[in-house]
Amino acid sequence: MKIAVVGATGLVGSTMIKILEERNFPVSELIPVASEKSEGKEILFRNKTFRVVSPAKAVEMNPQIALFSAGATVSRHWAPLFANARCRVVDNSSCWRMDPDVKLIVPEINGNILTTKDYLIANPNCSTIQMLMALAPLHKAFRLKRIVVSTYQSVSGTGQKGVKQLLDERQARFTGNETGKPIGNAYPYPIDLNIIPQIDVFLPDGYTKEEIKMVNETHKILDDHSIGVSATTVRVPVTGGHSESVNAQFEKPFTLEQVRELLESFPGVTLQDHPGSLTYPMPLFSEGSDQVFVGRLRYDLSCENTLNMWVVSDNLRKGAATNAVQIAEKLTDLLKG
């Protein structure tokens, strides 16, 4: 299959290419796509080099699947053009997620709703994916009533410029050149030795777009708008891996033993919950993994049928690139038959 990766030179795009190789995806020709300033650059894939081309050129090359990670503006314009050319598009931006005609997919949760008629599929937000990977099997068993989540999101979620700002600030601190001002334009404040309680822009009600994404996407993926969702999203000085403190209230009672059994048997989830040996998920050890790690399981002592948990995942992989490739794998299986 000819596979296009739109945004191939970015953090998520380059991770998509890496995962296509790792998972032995059936690629006959890779079409790396980026903006004009990156045209002509060479991308190494399976010991072969492929030149970066423009989106217009990529459409002419007739790929069967295009993985998009170039931002909402690019997706809004180019995704329909690829789809109209009979190319199946998996889009990682926020552009199409809440479109009622576009499916929002986490393969382990609702991949069964994909059909051969789908030419444009949306990849959810990274923070939503990992939270629902941990909650979906519990929702099926006990039915979610309300979720309160606080995220601790790494700077790689902002792309290369977020990582650069953190590392530049840290270097300046070590060399004594610290100014107290952010180095770069990823964040409005320094991120090193700091925590910024803002991800994306503020809305009139005081929530940020990232927080409302988690609300809306949860409803759409689980196909249940009755679930209450309250989110606070926070940027922390960690280079990779998002963490979440999740408080989930269910309609039915449960035991921690039942919760552990459900999580251990759910594909893509790894349980790390042994307080006695100080075993719990941490972003430092999630980098490079496609798993969603869950730990710190405990009853909420203040509320009936309510669970506390700590959820960690590599945001560039399962939170973005791996999930997109898994969607492409589902599409490929459907096309086979």
Q: Which CATH architecture has domain 2-124+320-336?
A: 3-Layer(aba) Sandwich (3.40)
Task: Kindly report the number of other CB atoms within 10 A of residue 164's CB atom.
Answer: 16
- Beta strands at 65-68 and 2-6: parallel, antiparallel or unpaired: parallel
∠ Cα 150 152 153 (to 5°): 125
pLDDT confidence of residue 334: 94
Distance, in Å, from the CA atom of 240 to the CA atom of 68, rounded to the nearest integer, reads 21
Cα–Cα separations (whole angstroms), residue 255 to 72, 148, 260, 296, 315 = 42, 20, 9, 14, 30
pLDDT at 279: 98
278: region left, alpha or beta (phi > 0 left; psi from -120 to 50 alpha)? left
Separation CA 243–CA 95 (nearest Å) = 24
β partners of residue 313: 242, 292
- Determine the pLDDT at residue 180: 75
pLDDT value, residue 181 = 78
Taking the chain (337 residues) in runs of 10, the rounded mean pLDDT of each run is: 96 97 97 91 95 97 97 97 98 98 98 97 98 98 98 97 95 82 86 97 98 98 98 98 98 98 98 98 97 98 98 98 98 91
User: In the chain, which segments carry CATH 3.40.50.720?
Assistant: 2-124+320-336
Beta-ladder partners of 3: 30, 65
Can you read off the two tokens belonging to residue 307?
């669970």
pTM (2 decimals)? 0.96
**Three-state SS sequence of the chain:** CEEEEECCCCHHHHHHHHHHHHCCCCCCEEEEECCHHHCCCEEEECCEEEECECHHHHHHCCCCEEEECCCHHHHHHHHHHHHHCCCEEEECCCCCCCCCCCEECCHHHHHHHCCCCCCEEECCCHHHHHHHHHHHHHHHHHCEEEEEEEEEECHHHHCHHHHHHHHHHHHHHHHCCCCCCCCCCCCCCCCCCCCECCCCCECCCCCEHHHHHHHHHHHHHHCCCCCEEEEEEEECCCCCCEEEEEEEEECCCCCHHHHHHHHHCCCCEEECCEHHHCECCCHHHCCCCCCEEEEEEEECCCCCCEEEEEEEECCCHHHHHHHHHHHHHHHHHHHHC
CATH 3.30.360.10 in the chain, residues? 128-315
pLDDT, position 177: 79
Q: Whole-angstrom distance between the N-terminal and C-terminal Cα of the chain?
A: 15
Active site residues: 126, 242
CATH architecture of 128-315: 2-Layer Sandwich (3.30)
* Longest pairwise C-alpha distance within the chain: 62
Contacts of 95 (CB under 8 A, 6+ apart): 72, 75, 76, 79, 122
The answer to whether 159 and 70 have CB atoms below 8 angstroms apart is: no
Instruction: Give residue 36's pLDDT.
Output: 84
**And the tokens for 190?**
């320094």
